[in-house]
Structure 1
Amino acid sequence: MKKFIVFILAGLLTVSVFAQENNKEKGVFVIVEDMPEYPGGDLAMRDDIAALVKYPEAAKDNGIQGKVYVTFVVNEEGNIEDAKIARGVDPSLDKEALRVMNALDKTWKPGKQKGVPVKVSYTVPIKFALDGGAAEEKKIARGEGSDAVFFVVEDMPEFPGGDEALRKYIANAINYPDVAKKEGIQGKVYVSFVVEKDGSVGDAKIERGVDPSLDKEALRVVKALPIWKPGKQRGEPVRVQYTVPINFALN
């Protein structure tokens, strides 16, 4: 009988180029001065989601695995609303990911803009992975030995100043490409990278692009990120993969 593991990808950030409303009618922001915060932080959210997920039997029987990206809004009261699939894998996995996000019963610390609680869009990638039992350790990492790259570790990498500082750094560093502005091109670019043992950023690549100009700019900014506090597994620095969705939005 197959076992399975489900985990949230290392990167849980949604970064926008501008502190602007994503939808003028709904008043939903993509980045604000004080971002929403799950009780206990990102690690607590990973644990709570993993505890709630039930791997669909049909998906297990057919060996279906993959990453499901769920986007939702944290409203002014700190509750989740309007959860939907941003990028799916299979109807059964998509449905389960959506069910779990809607089932989280903890109230977030709401996001604030100019001191006032507002609605904020948030994205969480959830990976469904089947495992044969003995190979479970390999499912949370790729490669072997000192070169192995982990997806989840006991002590996750940390950007100087934390997640909020990373959001602001990327938003300030990005130069919206003129060609994209002229053509009205917008969208969310998913960039993955590895935080090396010394805290440097390497192996940056586009996981999901929008347009060559936006993809190139997102990649440029990520490659220039400063030194992180490296991730650790069993007390030892290890290489850890991180994913950042960067939202390019025009006023």
Structure 2
Amino acid sequence: MKNKHFPLAILFAAAFGTAPALAQTKPADEPTYTFVEKMPVFEGGMGAMMQFIGSQVTYSSAQPEGMVVLSFIVDKDGSIDSVAVVKSLDPALDAACVNAVKAMEGKWTPGVQKGEKVPVRFTLPVKFGQPKPDKNAPETMPEYKGGAAAFKAFMKKNARYPRKGTKHGTVVVSFVINEDGSLSDYKIKSSVEPALDKEALRLAKLTDGNWLPPVKDGKQTKLEYTMPVYF
């Protein structure tokens, strides 16, 4: 029997970006954004996008568990460009996810910045595996105060591409959200280069004091949290 499993992270994938990056297929002077005033919209919204991907990708228990992370650009005309696998899991699942993203062609309304349609890059994680109950999991997961919209606004205001940066990619930062909402134990889980790692850590530390802690058994508790930052 085939099953499909996709994470809620899909809902917030576009929120974890930083400064504009240059797409390889674009002219050198044309930026590709990760944050714009009006983000691209999949027809029917993010929930519809999750359902669409689920209809395109099948998964069996014989295949490996884990996550495929994809990157793609919604261009100025709503077309899909520069689809790439950022994190691979399995050749067949990688290919299926790439094909699913390409099949979204024509289903997007493009992003807008300063009244102009612009290309916007998305990072999309797709998780595969059988759900496993976790007795230690909190009933309520940590949340950035104000939700995804507030986090997106924070990143848009504070994220900067470092002057010493030479690459593009996704830095994954982890930190512990403590019982009082404070942060500690910052770590780089996935590195790109020192300059980008340093900027990702700076952004993570700036969010200190803006998190609602997780709740377990009616009490606030602490939890390690991971935050991907795309450059």
What's the TM-score once normalised by structure 1's chain length? 0.67
How far is 1:222 from its partner?
Answer: 1.2
How far is 1:124 from its partner?
Answer: 0.3
Aligned length: 221
How far is 1:20 from its partner?
Answer: 6.0
Letter in 2 for 1:227: N
Runs of at least 5 residues in structure 2 that lack an aligned partner in the other structure: none
- Percent sequence identity is 30
Structure 1 residues 46, 33: CA separation in 2 closer, same or farther (over 3 Å shift)? same
Q: Deviations over 1:205-247 (max 9, x none)?
A: 43421113321330231132142467899xx999695543321
1:50 counterpart = 2:54: yes
- Judge conservation of contact 1:191–1:244 (CA < 8 Å) in 2: yes
What's the TM-score once normalised by structure 2's chain length? 0.72
Aligned to 1:35: 39
Q: Which of 210, 216, 219 in structure 2 is aligned with 1:227?
A: 210
Aligned to 1:144: 135
Q: Deviations over 1:104-135 (max 9, x none)?
A: 36722311122111221211011111x3xxxx
Structure 1 residues 30, 128: CA separation in 2 closer, same or farther (over 3 Å shift)? same
Aligned to 2:7: 8
Separation in 2, partners of 1:185, 1:118: 23
How far is 1:22 from its partner?
Answer: 4.2
1:209 counterpart = 2:230: no
Instruction: Tell me the C-alpha RMSD between the 2 structures.
Output: 3.9
How far is 1:77 from its partner?
Answer: 3.0
- Judge conservation of contact 2:18–2:161 (CA < 8 Å) in 1: no
Separation in 2, partners of 1:229, 1:105: 37
Counterpart secondary structure, 2:5: strand
Separation in 1, partners of 2:31, 2:69: 19
Q: Deviations over 1:157-187 (max 9, x none)?
A: 4553644x43442354346556xx1xx5222
- Judge conservation of contact 1:110–1:117 (CA < 8 Å) in 2: yes
Counterpart secondary structure, 1:6: coil
Separation in 2, partners of 1:9, 1:205: 23
Please give the residue correspondences for 1:159-178 in structure 2 after superposition, counting only pairs within 5 Å: 159-160=145-146, 162-163=148-149, 165-174=150-159
How far is 1:156 from its partner?
Answer: 8.8
Separation in 1, partners of 2:122, 2:107: 14
Structure 1 residues 156, 192: CA separation in 2 closer, same or farther (over 3 Å shift)? same
Aligned to 1:25: 27
